[in-house]
A and B are shown apart, each in its own frame.
Chain A
Amino acid sequence: MKDRVRRLFGVTTLVGLAAGLVMGFVVAPREATQGNVQRIMYLHVPSVWVAYLAFGVVLAASIVYLVRRLAAADRLAHASAEVGVIFTGLTIATGSIWGKPTWGTWWTWDARLTSVSILFVMYLGYLLLRGMIDDRERGARFAAVLGIVAAFNIPLVHFSVYWWRTLHQPPSLMKPGPGTMPGIIVTALLVNFAAFTLLYCYFVTRRARLLRLEAEAEA
């Protein structure tokens, strides 16, 4: 990607994030029960969406790598896992901050919180595994297998609120059937989803390019 295009992509991402903030803090109303602390949702929910997306991309790229042995697929999986770990960490941290005033506790070993923590640790392990193996091809192969296995945890995280009795509320948006949220809140959330998706794409393209440059420098 050319420098100018990359810069334009970065500026578009920043504009998207600014639009998300305006939607979340200015356009969206104060929530009737939780008050303004509910505005953390415009950060927390898009973060977990990006985490799902990132690990879904790791799964797809890992399969492509194992089948075709494309170095680009391996770089995409690596970059996506790294970005996914950052957003999963943010999901856990912002959820904990939101949990204190609403649930009265920073943390509880609830099914959703526990499963998302396992997801975080698994992909952290994925990144550590990549760093531990010197042989690039071997490391990529092992990481691809782990990237596929770890992805089985994604539906477990998402459906944990249905399968077990949890303190965490069921999904308001990423679920089948008609939504229960007011239109303006859904719109604000969707703008933030789009902005975070753009940020994910921006980070992954840059990180994948960095991995290519690093490989070239080592060769």
Chain B
Amino acid sequence: MMPDNWGFVIAAYGLAAVVLAAYWRFLSRREKELDDASVVRQHQRQGAGFSEPHARRPS
């Protein structure tokens, strides 16, 4: 019978945990960035929508 080799088990599970957690974190951060950017774009569009008639008003 082989020895238990717990070090190899910990290395395999530890590596998987680090990789999967890093990808999870990447998805969360990127999602937050894009959601924030999308909110800013929406505000800009709304702002442009309101200001445009004023901009075109004859002086």
**Interface residues, chain A, CB within 8 Å of chain B?**
30, 32-37, 39-40, 43-44, 47, 86, 89-90, 93-94, 97-98, 100-102, 199, 203, 206-207, 209-210, 213-214, 216-217
Contacts across chains A and B counted by CB atoms under 8 Å: 77
Chain B residue at smallest Cβ distance from A36: B4
Is B8 a contact of A40 with CB atoms below 8 Å? yes
Is A35 a contact of B15 with CB atoms below 8 Å? no
B37 on the A face (CB < 8 A): yes
Is B8 a contact of A37 with CB atoms below 8 Å? yes
Report, as a range, how many residues of chain B touch the other chain: 20 to 34
Is A98 a contact of B12 with CB atoms below 8 Å? yes
Is B23 a contact of A100 with CB atoms below 8 Å? no
A89, A100, A209: the one contacting B19 at CB < 8 Å is A89
Which residues of B lie under 8 Å from residue A100 when comparing CB positions? 8
Which residues of B lie under 8 Å from residue A37 when comparing CB positions? 2, 4-6, 8-9
Inter-chain CA distance A33–B5, complex, in Å, is 13
Is B38 a contact of A213 with CB atoms below 8 Å? yes
Is B9 a contact of A40 with CB atoms below 8 Å? yes
A33, A47, A93, A217: the one contacting B37 at CB < 8 Å is A217
